[in-house]
Structure 1
Amino acid sequence: MDEYYDEQYNIGLDEDYDNNDLQKNEILLSQNELYQEFLNRLDKIKDKIGESPQVILNILIFFNFEEQSIYEKLLLDGESDKIKSQLQEQGIYNESEVKFHENIFCSICEQNGIQGFSLNCDHKFCQSCWNQMIEIQFSSQIPLVRCLQDQCFERLPNSFLEQYPNYKQILIKRFMQHDSSITWCPGLNCENVFKYLNFSHSIKCPCGIKFCSKCREEKHYPIPCDILKKVLEYQQSNEYWAALNASKCPQCGRLIQRTEGCFHLKCLCGQHFCFKCSGPWAKDHEKSFYTCPFTNTNKNPSKHAVQLKNELQNVNTNIQNILSSIKNLKLKIKKVQLDSIIEYSEKIINLLKTSKSFLYYKFYLLENNDVSIYEQTFQQFQELMDFFIQILENKIQEIEDNESLKGQFILEFIHFDDSEKKILQNLKIQKKIIKKYIVETLIM
């Protein structure tokens, strides 16, 4: 996978991309700053195209904010004059002004003697009808409002629509989707937006999420974005659902869903087969109708999907359990210094999150290659991590048990000894080894 050896991945393997130098690469933008970024982009396009900001905005909306398409069609395409003529016919090059009127007849609601406004076309409509159309357009995420007269191409100018907060938000969203230097946090209910100078594997948001600036998924280095996307898309597909919830008949290929009962299924074609391994029902199956002797040796396509689901679920459960335990300790424990417990909890949670990207890559390889070496190395990493999680849980339990003595002694002895610290250090070393292996296999 030669494309993997890209400048964006050509950096060290053993850092977490959270140091101060890299943090200077990202700027957290407020909504006003983000809108100013959008206006600055308009100015840059204006300098190249040579039109007014309003016309440039009309062109941007027409081309769905795809800046490169604008340059190709209006500057490089051999038929640019023809395209410009078509745009002019649709009013793209028109610059209307809003004219207010005190006493008009609105031909839409048929009210007379009311306030309203018109554009250069002089089609007059009341404010209520204009506002209804503005609301309809914005609810559909469309940042333009044409004249209410049928077949009229005049449109409300940007300077007028800026008074509506929803308008700016729509422009910002459309702008962000096509600007490679703007990214946003994928965290739940987080609206933080960043501008970055160079690609970053991990942007750390104030909400606590670390994410990739390119694909906006949770930090996944060294897994490339395209591989992560393939696995995530598969998890959302009907194929993945079928792999987890159905079994394929070995004779006719029908997918059969099992809702209850034993593993013994009978297809419409008459074939008897095992739900678990998708193999014909054999005598070995009859030893138990609720277990399958071939689960770990068959080529059933559900095997890898079920494994991915279970392992990811285990990782997420461990993360939630640790977070919950620390939260409870903070609420209950007043006398004990919790710094070391919190510190090591955060470290193991970061390792657990890293293991999720390793799981995605393992699944990708399992579906495409024989990866016994990677599996063995990753399994050692998982086992060592489970061991350290048990150490962490024991220490948390120790604090809770001793706290129940109601302060008869101070629990200053709760700490991590050298052997326990070494386990964590070994985990970090194994993490580097796995990352190195992934990078090397991707470059090959």
Structure 2
Amino acid sequence: MDDYCDDEYYSGIDEYDNDDFQKNETLLSQNELYQEFLDRLEKIKDKIGEQSQVVLNILIFFNFEVQNIYEQLLLSNDSEKLKVQLKEQGIYNVSNVHFHQNMICSICLENETQGFSLDCNHKFCKNCWNQMIEVQFISQIPLVRCLQDQCYERLPHSFLEQYPKYKQIIIKRFMQHDDIITWCPGLNCENVFKCLTFTNSIKCPCGVKFCSKCREEKHHPIPCDILKKVLEYQQSNEYWAILHASKCPQCGRLIQRTEGCFHLKCLCGQHFCFKCSGPWEKDHQSSFYTCPYMNTNKNPSKYALQLKNELQSINNNIKIIEQSIQELKQKIKKVKLDPLIEQSEKIIQLLKTSKSFLYYKFYLMENKDVQIYEQTFHQFQEELNDFVKIIEGKKLEVEDNEYSKDRTIIEFINFNNSEKKILSNLKIKKKQIKKYIVETLIM
């Protein structure tokens, strides 16, 4: 492992080396993944004591939440009552498919056609059945009931297995509630892993490192629940409103400013400042276009805007480096790019780490004292940005030497001691920030 591999998780679990990867995390093919599902189905079948088709019907009914099934059907005092209700809905029916020649379809009324029915003997042509199957699969629903109104018979699992889309839906629904199965969140990556124990960092062959529990890009040492809270807030209407509006300090009404100065008047009569959401004090009147409190008040709009801008800056830097390296790989022939690619990959990983640090900074702003953390994180960000500029400079150096006719062509790009020292300092600061996070989590 290089010097920039990750430290211990706050719970004390170490990152796995290559041998451990083989033991703990297994990359599954689609066939292996489906077999995992079938194996799990057999275990549930043994506990419930029903046929595979009935167990699958129950899984679908309970949205594949296995623990809930055990509690409701095996442990609850009302389990018998629930079974009666499930039987009324056809959950315990095990139907067979019966094929017919020269039949009349009960829907399209096509005569002398081929089709099939279930044990209910409601006959429909293949075309009508296939249309219903397609509609269900588009809706990500892995069951197809009889086309007759109010009939609860359904196509058996053994019949639907012939459709690849059915298997994909079953696998997807199954994975959502299985702690052992996890998948890579990388863009357009479909890799799925089986994990024997929790690990904070799985490195996918696509290059993305992610958490096996929440399936988000690696956020060590920040707990999944804190990351989830911030990410959900980013997607909420409240976040949008805070970015584009200001809350009245008297009635709480959100008011959006389209133009003009910061002095707002709410419908309730309260005069307040758009920037700090505080009452319009005498200090504000020195300038209607600046706010003396915007950098000191715990103003939610200030923090939300910082999160938005800083996250956008980090993502832009990652994109710039990735695009630069991709461009160089395509057009550079004379200069060896290995050192530049290696350092670029390191800085990209550090930029991704800074995203999780940024999420924790936002969490601290809402919950605890942030000053010490913010200072260290700010220094970390500044040095990251400095090294991004170094990478861009090296890219230009490569291009200049590649096409220069007057100068000697260099074979590879060197990083001098001062540039290497920046990376070394980034590593130290990364450890300091992680240490601070761990300490604040256990306080």
Partner of 1:137: 136
Aligned pair in 2 of structure 1 residues 287, 333: CA closer, same or farther (>3 Å)? farther
Partner of 2:103: 104
Task: Name the SS for the 1:304 alignment partner.
Answer: helix
Partner of 1:3: none
Distance in structure 1 (CA, Å) of the matches to 2:9 and 2:385:
35
Task: Name the SS for the 1:276 alignment partner.
Answer: coil
The normalised TM-score by structure 2 is 0.91
Aligned pair in 2 of structure 1 residues 251, 40: CA closer, same or farther (>3 Å)? closer
Q: CA offsets per residue over residues 302-335 of structure 1, 9 Å max, x none? A: 1111111121111112111222222232233321
The normalised TM-score by structure 1 is 0.90
Partner of 2:13: 11
By how many angstroms is 1:281 displaced? 4.4
8 A contact 1:98–1:156 mirrored in 2: yes
Distance in structure 1 (CA, Å) of the matches to 2:148 and 2:116:
13
Listed as ranges, the gaps of 5+ residues in structure 1 are 1-5
Q: Where do 1:17-166 residues align within 5 Å?
A: 19-22=18-21, 24-166=23-165
Aligned pair in 2 of structure 1 residues 156, 275: CA closer, same or farther (>3 Å)? same
By how many angstroms is 1:272 displaced? 4.3
By how many angstroms is 1:40 displaced? 1.0
1:189 has 2:188 as partner: yes
Q: Where do 1:372-411 residues align within 5 Å?
A: 372-406=371-405, 408-411=407-410
Partner of 1:419: 418
By how many angstroms is 1:264 displaced? 3.6
By how many angstroms is 1:98 displaced? 0.9
8 A contact 1:18–1:204 mirrored in 2: no
By how many angstroms is 1:349 displaced? 0.9
8 A contact 1:395–1:414 mirrored in 2: yes
Distance in structure 1 (CA, Å) of the matches to 2:306 and 2:180:
37
Task: Name the SS for the 2:290 alignment partner.
Answer: coil
Give the AA of the match of 1:131. Answer: N
Task: Name the SS for the 1:112 alignment partner.
Answer: coil
Task: Name the SS for the 2:194 alignment partner.
Answer: strand
Task: Name the SS for the 2:31 alignment partner.
Answer: helix
1:317 has 2:319 as partner: no
8 A contact 2:339–2:412 mirrored in 1: no
- Which structure would you say has the larger RCO, counting Cα contacts within 8 Å and 6 or more residues apart? 1
Q: CA offsets per residue over residues 318-363 of structure 1, 9 Å max, x none? A: 1112222222322333211221111111111111110110111111
8 A contact 2:136–2:143 mirrored in 1: yes
157-166 vs 378-387, greater mean Cα deviation: 378-387
8 A contact 1:243–1:305 mirrored in 2: yes
By how many angstroms is 1:251 displaced? 4.5
By how many angstroms is 1:246 displaced? 1.0
By how many angstroms is 1:134 displaced? 1.9
Listed as ranges, the gaps of 5+ residues in structure 2 are 1-7
Partner of 1:265: 264
Aligned pair in 2 of structure 1 residues 433, 153: CA closer, same or farther (>3 Å)? same
Distance in structure 2 (CA, Å) of the matches to 1:73 and 1:119:
29
Aligned identity (percent) is 76
By how many angstroms is 1:23 displaced? 5.1
Partner of 2:5: none
Task: Name the SS for the 1:277 alignment partner.
Answer: coil
8 A contact 2:243–2:305 mirrored in 1: yes
1:167 has 2:131 as partner: no
8 A contact 1:399–1:414 mirrored in 2: yes
Provide the aligned C-alpha RMSD in A.
2.4
8 A contact 2:25–2:196 mirrored in 1: yes
Partner of 2:3: none
Q: CA offsets per residue over residues 396-428 of structure 1, 9 Å max, x none? A: 333333334237302247311233223212211
Partner of 1:219: 218
Aligned pair in 2 of structure 1 residues 141, 393: CA closer, same or farther (>3 Å)? closer
Aligned pair in 2 of structure 1 residues 111, 25: CA closer, same or farther (>3 Å)? same
Task: Name the SS for the 2:367 alignment partner.
Answer: coil
Partner of 2:356: 357
In the comparison of the two structures, how many residue pairs are matched?
436
Partner of 1:236: 235
Give the AA of the match of 2:342. Answer: E
By how many angstroms is 1:226 displaced? 0.3
Distance in structure 1 (CA, Å) of the matches to 2:285 and 2:412:
56
8 A contact 2:25–2:193 mirrored in 1: yes
Partner of 1:301: 300
Task: Name the SS for the 1:9 alignment partner.
Answer: coil
Give the AA of the match of 2:197. Answer: N
8 A contact 2:277–2:299 mirrored in 1: yes
Q: CA offsets per residue over residues 266-285 of structure 1, 9 Å max, x none? A: 43445544322234445654
